[in-house]
Amino acid sequence: MASIDFRALRREVGLDAVLKLLDFVPVQRRGDQVRGACPIHSPQRAGSRSFSAHLARNAYRCFHCGSSGNQLDLWAAATGQPLYQAAIDLCDKLNHPVPWLLRRDANRKKSAAAS
């Protein structure tokens, strides 16, 4: 199975894009931080602010269900997929190329061919 460059994907796809895909509607906004109902679990009441996301840091936390992490973690949790599949699915939804990692063997062959 080919490897995904998760670092590159986190650099290229922001938390704001993931929240938009999840139809997140913020109840409160302060600078780069938004709060609202958690897109992972169903909130018990309208206007819930248990979910907090810091857009500049690409980090989120729900103070109700305890979920936290980065934009890829959020997409995986919200869609119920393992991280690898969630990354591919997220790229597909955003029409973004999957940043595949080159295998070390392929890099060695290229280096040897160049010599």
DSSP 82-105: -HHHHHHHHHHHTT----BPPPHH
Q: Cα(6)–Cα(4) distance, rounded to whole angstroms?
A: 6
Residue 86 lies in a domain: yes
- In the chain, how many domains are there? 1
Residue 85 lies in a domain: yes
Structure token digits, residue 27: 């109840």
Based on the number of CB atoms within 10 Å of its own CB, is 97 exposed (0-12), middle (13-18) or buried (19 or more)? Answer: exposed
At 67 the pLDDT is 95
Residue 1 lies in a domain: no
At 105 the pLDDT is 56
Range of the domain at 16: 6-114
pLDDT along the chain (115 residues), means of 10: 94 98 95 95 78 97 95 98 98 97 64 55
At 45 the pLDDT is 72
At 39 the pLDDT is 93
**What's this model's pTM, rounded to 2 decimal places?**
0.85
